[in-house]
């Protein structure tokens, strides 16, 4: 087993993650423009987010299962290309129905890439799995942050049809990954090696972890969906709302670089528990205090939530060491998809009551994640005992 993270392979995987999440990250920035163009209610705005998360998240366990049984390296370039093309066509769609269809297509590309990408990130990380998964995750963090940064001025300048240009980064990176596929395939362990390193699956611990991710996702997707609209409701510009969204996402990237090494050194569970404990108070500071303190708190939410995506990914793979692709699909997919469903519920609350109430509910959700996180067993010690795919070092 390689002890070090392979820089070339990880750069390719992280770039693919950047491209798919760049496509994903443009959608929240496009929502205010869709709302105006199609005269949408908050609920219908949230349906666009739901469409993205149903296809990009709920399908991921299926792609993960396919990956575990057959191997599917071609999903890496195909997923990246489809994600970018779909969101670009959604921006230029002439009707709300076609916009939803294109968002669904983009989401399928995201779903195809993530389980395979996460599995290869584990293969190429050597003995530093949390650090390696953080480097893989940082690509997604940066991509998601760049989405609103690029999409907002592009659409303000060229209109929604200018959104067709959003496909270019994904298509270029997909071509690079396709060309490098023979090199990436050298990291795939043979069946006998993989079987000998496989530990005992712990579905109960995995279920607890999925609950933590789900409740954390309610807060995350509530903020991602409604922060730009919240700022507009306070009399600020659409650009101001998207700047705050970008700040939260950039802070998440910084948090990712910190959380992975911390998890390798001090353990996955302590880092995860600390992050979910901090999330709810920070979200309430943003909503209640606002201004510069609120912006700083929102950045803290990004660091806590996005920063531990890689940590929860490693924990899921260590809880299900015999089904790494399935574990990856569940961690990113099924539980995160529930956050998309919650966004629609929160949209309905915003229509029936007001947006402030919906965001307060969103901010309170991580409190339930705290309770579940306290019951999580250590994934790292179990992985070390069982000789997992890439045992963590103590």
36 closest CA partner among 104, 96, 108:
96
Q: Is 362 helix (H, G, I), strand (E, B) or coil?
A: helix
Cα 18 from Cα 142, distance rounded (Å)? 6
Is residue 334 scored above 70 in pLDDT?
no
Q: Which one is predicted more confidently, 232 or 308?
A: 308
Q: How confident is the model at residue 380 (pLDDT cuts 50, 70, 90)?
A: low
Q: Tell me how many domains the chain contains.
A: 1
Residue found by looking up tokens 């023979």 in the block: 182
Provide mean pLDDT across the span 22-44: 86
Q: 2 lies in a domain? A: no
Is the separation of the CB atoms in 302 and 279 below 8 Å? no
Is the separation of the CB atoms in 393 and 129 below 8 Å? no
Q: Which one is predicted more confidently, 101 or 41?
A: 101
Which residues are CB-neighbours of 322 under 8 A, at least 6 positions away?
A: 198, 199, 201
Is residue 385 scored above 70 in pLDDT?
no
Provide mean pLDDT across the span 188-200: 60
Q: 354 lies in a domain? A: yes
Q: Is 199 helix (H, G, I), strand (E, B) or coil?
A: coil
What pLDDT, on a 0 to 100 scale, did the predictor assign at position 61?
Answer: 81
Cα 281 from Cα 272, distance rounded (Å)? 16
N- to C-terminal Cα distance for the chain?
A: 17
Q: For 149-173, what is each residue's pLDDT tens digit?
A: 888 888 888 888 888 999 999 999 9
13 closest CA partner among 169, 118, 160:
118
Q: How confident is the model at residue 335 (pLDDT cuts 50, 70, 90)?
A: low
Q: 121 lies in a domain? A: yes
Q: Which one is predicted more confidently, 336 or 384?
A: 336
What pLDDT, on a 0 to 100 scale, did the predictor assign at position 203?
Answer: 85
What pLDDT, on a 0 to 100 scale, did the predictor assign at position 381?
Answer: 46
Is the separation of the CB atoms in 23 and 83 below 8 Å? yes
Q: What is the DSSP letter of 334?
A: I
What pLDDT, on a 0 to 100 scale, did the predictor assign at position 4?
Answer: 75
| CATH number of the domain encompassing residue 147 | 1.20.1250.20
What pLDDT, on a 0 to 100 scale, did the predictor assign at position 386?
Answer: 42
**Which range has the worst mean pLDDT, 81-90, 335-344, 375-384?**
375-384
The DSSP element (H or E) to which 145 belongs, if any, is: helix 129-158
**Rounded percentage of the chain residues whose pLDDT exceeds 90:** 26
Q: 392 lies in a domain? A: no
Is residue 323 scored above 60 in pLDDT?
yes
CA 338, 26, 144, 288 dihedral sign is negative
Cα 65 from Cα 217, distance rounded (Å)? 23
Cα 49 from Cα 47, distance rounded (Å)? 5
Is residue 389 scored above 80 in pLDDT?
no
363 closest CA partner among 220, 207, 251, 213:
220
Q: 391 lies in a domain? A: no
What pLDDT, on a 0 to 100 scale, did the predictor assign at position 275?
Answer: 93
Q: 1 lies in a domain? A: no
- Compute CA distances 320 → 118, 288, 326, whole Å: 14, 40, 8
**What's the domain range around 366?**
7-386
| Identity of the highest mean pLDDT range in 146-160, 269-283, 336-350 | 269-283
Cα 220 from Cα 379, distance rounded (Å)? 24
- Compute CA distances 48 → 102, 203, 318, whole Å: 10, 32, 33
């Amino acid at each position: 087993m390689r002890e070090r993270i392979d820089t070339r392979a990880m750069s390719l995987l992280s770039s693919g993650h950047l491209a798919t999440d760049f496509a994903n990250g443009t959608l929240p920035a496009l929502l205010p423009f869709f709302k105006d163009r199609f005269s949408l209610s908050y609920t219908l705005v949230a349906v666009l987010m739901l469409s993205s998360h149903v296809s990009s998240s709920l399908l991921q366990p299926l792609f993960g299962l396919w990956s575990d049984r057959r191997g599917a390296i071609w999903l890496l370039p195909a997923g990246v290309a489809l994600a970018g093309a779909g969101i670009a066509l959604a921006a230029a769609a002439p009707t709300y129905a076609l916009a939803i269809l294109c968002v669904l297509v983009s989401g399928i590309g995201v779903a195809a890439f993530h389980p395979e990408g996460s599995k290869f990130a584990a293969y190429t990380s050597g003995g530093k799995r949390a650090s390696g998964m953080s480097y893989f995750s940082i690509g997604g963090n940066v991509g998601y942050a760049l989405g609103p940064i690029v999409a907002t001025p592009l659409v303000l300048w060229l209109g929604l049809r200018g959104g067709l240009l959003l496909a270019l980064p994904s298509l270029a990176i997909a071509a690079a990954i396709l060309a490098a596929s023979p090199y990436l395939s050298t990291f795939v362990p043979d069946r006998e090696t993989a079987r000998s390193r496989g530990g005992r699956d712990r579905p109960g611990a995995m279920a607890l972890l999925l609950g933590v991710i789900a409740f954390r996702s309610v807060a995350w997707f509530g903020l991602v969906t409604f922060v730009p609209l919240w700022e507009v409701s306070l009399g600020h510009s659409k650009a101001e709302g998207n700047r705050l969204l970008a700040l939260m996402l950039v802070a998440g990237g910084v948090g990712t670089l910190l959380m992975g090494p911390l998890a390798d050194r001090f353990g996955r569970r302590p880092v995860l528990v600390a992050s979910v404990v901090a999330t709810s108070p920070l979200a309430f500071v943003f909503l209640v205090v606002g201004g510069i303190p609120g912006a700083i708190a929102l950045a803290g939410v990004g660091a806590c939530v996005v920063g531990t995506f890689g940590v929860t990914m490693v924990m899921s793979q260590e809880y299900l060491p015999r089904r790494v692709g399935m574990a990856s699909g569940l961690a990113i997919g099924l539980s995160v998809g529930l956050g998309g469903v919650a966004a629609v519920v929160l949209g309905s609350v915003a229509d029936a009551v007001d947006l402030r109430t919906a965001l307060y509910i969103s901010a309170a959700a991580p409190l339930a994640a705290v309770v579940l996180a306290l019951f999580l067993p250590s994934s790292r010690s179990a992985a070390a005992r069982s000789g997992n795919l890439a045992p963590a070092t103590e």
